[in-house]
Chains A and B, each alone.
Chain A
Amino acid sequence: MKYNYSRHCSNNKDKALQRRLEIVPGALSWAIIIGMSVLSIAAPLAAAVIMVAFVLYWVLRLLYMNIFLVLSYARLSVEKGTDWMSRISGIDHIESYVKGMCVRGTDGNLKEKVSLGFYCRDLSKLMASKALPPKSKDIYHLVIIPVFKETGAVVEPGIKGIVSGRYPSSRALVVIALEGRATEEIEKDISGIKDKYKKDFLDFLVVRHPDNIPGERKVKGANTSYAAKEAGAYFDKKKIPYDNVIVSCFDADTVPNPDYFSCLTYRFMITPDRTRRSYQPIPVYHNNIWDVSGFARILDIGTSFFELVEATNPRNMVTFSSHSMSFRTLVDVGFWPVDMISDDSAIFWKAFIHYDGDYQTQPIYTTVSMDIVTGRDIKESFVNIYRQKRRWAWGVENFPIVIRAFLRSSAIPIYKKITYGYRLLEAFVSWATWSFLLALISWLPAFFAGREFATSTVYYTAPRIQGTIFSLSSVGLVICMLLSILMLPRKKTRNGILKRIQHIFEWLFIPVIVLALSAIPALDSQTRLAFGRYMEFWTAGKYRKTR
């Protein structure tokens, strides 16, 4: 469906609908928080019963997600160390490979056997689809790195990571999308990086994005779209077909795993509907993990866990942060939105609507590492993290635009409209409300109990039931503690063991951290959207300790 994926509508009817839909998530979140608080005072018995039902739902969902967190982590571990380059070569010679390796099997360990099993299953599906990919030698990568305030010290590790990766960097075009507003100092830094690494790539372009292009807002998507169009011109000139190009849009601080591009190429080649997929790695925040406050560490490890869980359910997965897709798709859907802050998720919805619901996110079991937002002191860190999470939560801006498209489209299947629409709304509302309900409101009925309620059995049993359910959730907490330790970078750090022990205890503060730095920013975003106070892009503060 041809659709202008923007909150700016061409006619008054759409404008009115857009505005009404913008109010929905915030109104719903506030209605839940205020409604439950009022109910706790006015009818504490009913509130206590609802809270029992909710806390049970929450704990079961938590345990359910924990199962998939463990499975997803296991899959990530299984795929770690896989020789993706040889698998890419296997797809190039698919028939002989299937007959040979898949029939013969491997003498390797259990991990290798499981990994080979996944591989052969994927190969069989690819063969059955008859949608064979281009040969690996014809596949190119486009890596777009937007830069505004980030210094060379932040950008260079990512470039270095691409060069030192297992996939030949000579097949990658790196484009630094430099904001026109960037300072001369930043430009000089980038120029130095270009001179240093140009020889390692197919080419290295620095594209300066002019300021104040009509129709654009000061957002990352405007910058990357401009750079992507320049890259398109480059491919046209070199006669490289767009279908053979995979575009990865990174953050300035993204450092891909050495296996990233080989794993991505493999996943691109083996996926039959390769142009109808976004490829989502697992984001980890290891670049400066030991240089930041405990609350920042816990929050971003939580984000990694969330993406790990999401990876087990590609049908509902939405792109987040650094990810990749076919350049053909990017061009067909009209690049990233140039007036939205949440370009990472917006591009998924844009493609989903463009292809009438025939589009999904494909998880790739490798990682990209980024910086945890921080500040020069704890107060600045707190404020910066709050603003970053509020920006993430501004992804709620997609809701009215997606729903408008769903209402207009007759080609998107109705069940997809309902399930995706519901999940989009539910994700944001639960993000903003659950912490309030669990940490604060669940205790209100007992607090405001009148004589009538205080003499009922519910007054005594409901908090006890809730307490038991909460203690059950500690199973999930222990799993998170263990996995976070396993996922931490192996690199030796000063007082490494002590830091890891300290990190385990940091998890105990999760209820407070999530309330202050996740739920409140989310509610803030939704309230701003409801009142039409639209946010501008804010570049997160990222600092590295000088060693």
Chain B
Amino acid sequence: MIIARRILFFIFLVLYLALCPLLILYSFGYIFNPVKQEMDRTGLIYLSSMPEGADIYLGRSRYKQKTPAGIEALTPGNYKITLRLKGRKPWSRSVYVDSGKAISFKNILLIPKTFPVKNILAGPFVKLTAGHEADYLLIAGSADLDSYLVYDCRRGEAAPLLPEDSLFSGMPVVSIFTEESSPVFVIYGGSLWNRRYLYVNLAETPAEIVDISALISERPVDIVWNDSDRYRIFALYRDSLDIVNVRTGALFPGYIEGIKGCGISHKWLYILDEKNNVLRQAYDKDREELVYSWRWDSGEVFKMSGFYRIRALENGAILFLGQRGRLLINKPPYSLVERGVIGLEFYKKNQDILLYWTKNSIGILDFSQGLAQRVVNDSGTNITDCFFVNEGRYALFNDNNVLRLIEVFPGGTDDAEQVVEIKNNTSFFYSEDTGKAYYIDPRDSGLKSVTIVPR
């Protein structure tokens, strides 16, 4: 046994000494070229698609594997990659493969030849409201609150918002405040002489509806809250903010005064004070930190755009979105867009990338390598809303009542694919969980969904 052990030990030792360097060299892209009788350093292309199982073509040759797959041992040079899947439009790119380098195309969305549409609720509906990354839609048959239905995207169920004998029946709705990832809506409406603010929490069954009109003194610039503390809402005015505790009915008027901007990020209240300092406070004021002081021409910076919504990112960047759509950042080049920004969309898993849009264009801010700003589409006519799709690789937007899909990742095509038409003056909602966009159809005014990313 001892001799057998020794012999085997040496066999395994030789095996290891031979295999280990070969595997390491292979992982670095080295392969033996039998023609040249020498080692070549190669590169690879990694491809994964939604849905999976697409044929991969390298030039005209079909690769043996289907997506997801890594095409290894590619000698340096230009390659044309095409993905083909039945019922989907082909996807194609030309890439240069460098030695020892990998080029990755992850979760390529293979666009269907026709997007599958599903009827959800028969209309007619006139309005659709939802917070980004929320699970609930509010859909309205008319301006009256009685006509509002709540649609649960996860369960695929709809129910009237108000109970039959509600005090708020017949209340006309003027506007609805929403927050990201929150099942809470604040509905503003009522007659001219009797304006009301209703706090609606859809996480409760039946929906919890609280009249908070007495707690809101005048019409605020905005109403914001953090979903982890959803009963505490902040009413933002031009130079102050009130705190309202919905559960206890407590109001803290002028809780902070002398402010030019405000926002909630990561359970902190961010304040832009009159001296252009950015402070962050715990909600109960027990901690306050100065996080940034504007130096760059700061006297002029905040004059133009009235109240600023503040958004702090995990990477330390702070964004300021003014009422006239001026977008600023606390690092060079400070001013990102002079005017016209309608909204911002963050990709939830990766705050290194965010999307902003104006009436005519869609842009990307990429913080992964310093700060890179690029416009991915500037041919819009009336862009009103925009969502990240498929882990931040695409954007779905409403341009002049047409939903369009565009690849926003570097190297993507500039052409936006038309998805569906939507009803005039309505918004849409995209759920990354279901991969579907929800909208009101222009023909029958019913609620429909269109599958963008197959799940």
A residues apposed to B, CB below 8 Å:
48-49, 52-53, 56-57, 60-61, 63-64, 67-68, 71, 75, 312-315, 451, 454-462, 464-465
Asked if A457 and B104 make an inter-chain contact with CB atoms under 8 angstroms apart, the answer reads no
Asked if A457 and B102 make an inter-chain contact with CB atoms under 8 angstroms apart, the answer reads yes
Asked if B28 and A457 make an inter-chain contact with CB atoms under 8 angstroms apart, the answer reads yes
Chain A residue numbers with a CB within 8 Å of B104 are 454-455, 460
Asked if A455 and B103 make an inter-chain contact with CB atoms under 8 angstroms apart, the answer reads yes
B residues apposed to A, CB below 8 Å:
1-2, 4-5, 8-9, 12, 15-16, 19-20, 23-24, 26-29, 42-44, 46, 70, 72, 100-104, 368-369
Checking A67, A75, A314, A456 against B102 with a beta-carbon cut-off of 8 angstroms, the contacting residue is: A456
Asked if B8 and A461 make an inter-chain contact with CB atoms under 8 angstroms apart, the answer reads no
Query: Can you name the residue of chain A whose Cβ is closest to the Cβ of B99?
Result: A457
Asked if B15 and A60 make an inter-chain contact with CB atoms under 8 angstroms apart, the answer reads yes
Chain B residue numbers with a CB within 8 Å of A451 are 368-369
Checking B8, B20, B44, B102 against A53 with a beta-carbon cut-off of 8 angstroms, the contacting residue is: B20
Chain A residue numbers with a CB within 8 Å of B20 are 52-53, 56-57
Per the bound structure, the CA–CA distance linking A68 and B5 in Å amounts to 8
- 24 example contacts (A-B, Cβ-Cβ < 8 A) are as follows A48-B27, A57-B20, A60-B12, A60-B16, A61-B12, A63-B12, A68-B1, A71-B1, A75-B1, A312-B1, A312-B5, A313-B1, A451-B368, A456-B100, A457-B28, A457-B100, A458-B28, A459-B102, A460-B46, A460-B70, A461-B29, A461-B70, A462-B27, A465-B27
Query: Can you name the residue of chain B whose Cβ is closest to the Cβ of A450?
Result: B368
Query: Can you name the residue of chain A whose Cβ is closest to the Cβ of B368?
Result: A451
Per the bound structure, the CA–CA distance linking A60 and B369 in Å amounts to 41
Chain A residue numbers with a CB within 8 Å of B16 are 56-57, 60
Per the bound structure, the CA–CA distance linking A462 and B103 in Å amounts to 15
Query: Can you name the residue of chain B whose Cβ is closest to the Cβ of A63?
Result: B12
Per the bound structure, the CA–CA distance linking A60 and B13 in Å amounts to 9
Asked if B9 and A52 make an inter-chain contact with CB atoms under 8 angstroms apart, the answer reads no
Asked if A49 and B5 make an inter-chain contact with CB atoms under 8 angstroms apart, the answer reads no
Per the bound structure, the CA–CA distance linking A67 and B4 in Å amounts to 10
How many A-B pairs fall under 8 Å by CB? Answer: 80
Interface of A, secondary structure class, is helix
Asked if B102 and A455 make an inter-chain contact with CB atoms under 8 angstroms apart, the answer reads yes
Chain B residue numbers with a CB within 8 Å of A75 are 1
Asked if B1 and A52 make an inter-chain contact with CB atoms under 8 angstroms apart, the answer reads no
Asked if A456 and B101 make an inter-chain contact with CB atoms under 8 angstroms apart, the answer reads yes
Asked if A315 and B2 make an inter-chain contact with CB atoms under 8 angstroms apart, the answer reads yes
Per the bound structure, the CA–CA distance linking A251 and B249 in Å amounts to 70
Per the bound structure, the CA–CA distance linking A56 and B19 in Å amounts to 8
With A48-B27, A313-B2, A462-B27 already in contact, the answer to whether A457 and B101 are too (CB < 8 A) is: yes
Query: Can you name the residue of chain A whose Cβ is closest to the Cβ of B70?
Result: A460
Chain B residue numbers with a CB within 8 Å of A63 are 12
Query: Can you name the residue of chain B whose Cβ is closest to the Cβ of A468?
Result: B23
With A455-B101, A455-B103 already in contact, the answer to whether A52 and B23 are too (CB < 8 A) is: yes
Per the bound structure, the CA–CA distance linking A464 and B104 in Å amounts to 15
Per the bound structure, the CA–CA distance linking A312 and B2 in Å amounts to 7
Query: Can you name the residue of chain A whose Cβ is closest to the Cβ of B100?
Result: A457
Asked if A64 and B12 make an inter-chain contact with CB atoms under 8 angstroms apart, the answer reads yes
Asked if A457 and B43 make an inter-chain contact with CB atoms under 8 angstroms apart, the answer reads yes
Asked if A457 and B44 make an inter-chain contact with CB atoms under 8 angstroms apart, the answer reads yes
Q: Report B390 CB to chain A, min CB distance, Å.
A: 19
Per the bound structure, the CA–CA distance linking A87 and B100 in Å amounts to 66
Checking A52, A61, A460 against B24 with a beta-carbon cut-off of 8 angstroms, the contacting residue is: A52
Query: Can you name the residue of chain B whose Cβ is closest to the Cβ of A457?
Result: B29
With A56-B16, A60-B16, A454-B104 already in contact, the answer to whether A465 and B23 are too (CB < 8 A) is: yes
Extra inter-chain contacts (9) besides given A52-B27, A68-B8, A457-B101, CB under 8 Å: A48-B27, A49-B27, A57-B16, A455-B104, A456-B102, A457-B100, A457-B102, A458-B28, A460-B70
With A52-B27, A53-B24 already in contact, the answer to whether A460 and B19 are too (CB < 8 A) is: no
Q: Report A75 CB to chain B, min CB distance, Å.
A: 8
Q: Report B158 CB to chain A, min CB distance, Å.
A: 41
Chain A residue numbers with a CB within 8 Å of B5 are 68, 312-313
Chain A residue numbers with a CB within 8 Å of B28 are 456-458
With A56-B19, A56-B23 already in contact, the answer to whether A461 and B44 are too (CB < 8 A) is: yes
Asked if B4 and A71 make an inter-chain contact with CB atoms under 8 angstroms apart, the answer reads yes
Checking B42, B70, B368 against A464 with a beta-carbon cut-off of 8 angstroms, the contacting residue is: B70
Query: Can you name the residue of chain A whose Cβ is closest to the Cβ of B6?
Result: A313
Chain B residue numbers with a CB within 8 Å of A312 are 1, 5
Query: Can you name the residue of chain A whose Cβ is closest to the Cβ of B21?
Result: A53
Q: Report B76 CB to chain A, min CB distance, Å.
A: 12
Which 7 pairs between the two chains have the least Cβ-Cβ distance?
A457-B29, A461-B27, A458-B27, A64-B12, A460-B70, A462-B27, A312-B1
Chain A residue numbers with a CB within 8 Å of B369 are 451
Query: Can you name the residue of chain B whose Cβ is closest to the Cβ of A363?
Result: B1
Per the bound structure, the CA–CA distance linking A454 and B101 in Å amounts to 9
Per the bound structure, the CA–CA distance linking A67 and B1 in Å amounts to 11
Chain B residue numbers with a CB within 8 Å of A462 are 27
Q: Report B101 CB to chain A, min CB distance, Å.
A: 6
Q: Report B217 CB to chain A, min CB distance, Å.
A: 50
Per the bound structure, the CA–CA distance linking A457 and B43 in Å amounts to 6
Chain A residue numbers with a CB within 8 Å of B4 are 71
Per the bound structure, the CA–CA distance linking A235 and B84 in Å amounts to 88
Chain A residue numbers with a CB within 8 Å of B8 are 64, 67-68
